Amino acid sequence: MTRTAKPQSRREGPVRRPRAQRAARWPLQDAKARFSELVRRVHDEGPQHVTVYGRDEVVVIAADEFRRLRGDLTGAALVDAMQALPYRALSLDRKRARLPVRGVVLP
């Protein structure tokens, strides 16, 4: 007895796009449930958007990208800004004054 192939139904289920073409948007519940995959896709595909009620709330990016965007926190920008001030002769020395201490009795 030979089997015949089942006739294909017209409704074959959802058409899934390949991973690289999927939108980088994650509903919050999916992001929480599949956090490891979210992190992997951040590294493989770039920033991933997490939505709450259909609106973008946060974007997950790689740590290297975050450091690059945040910039170097060495204070060089502050030093450059202070040196660019037109008030070069301004003295920034502070005077120290002794403040009275209340409630302390000295012998």
Q: Mean pLDDT, to the nearest integer, of 4-33?
A: 66
Q: Is 1 exposed, middle or buried, given 0-12, 13-18 or 19+ CB atoms closer than 10 A?
A: exposed
Q: Mean pLDDT, to the nearest integer, of 20-32?
A: 82
Q: Select from 68, 36, 30, 69 the least CA-distant residue to 50.
A: 30
Q: Are strands 48-52 and 25-27 parallel, antiparallel or unpaired?
A: parallel
Residue 20 has pLDDT above 70, yes or no: no
39-74 pLDDT, tens digit each:
999 999 999 999 999 999 999 999 999 988 887 677
Q: Walk me through the domains of the chain, giving residue ranges and CATH numbers.
A: 19-71 (3.40.1620.10)
67-103 pLDDT, tens digit each:
888 876 777 878 888 888 887 777 777 777 777 777 7
Q: Mean pLDDT, to the nearest integer, of 27-45?
A: 96
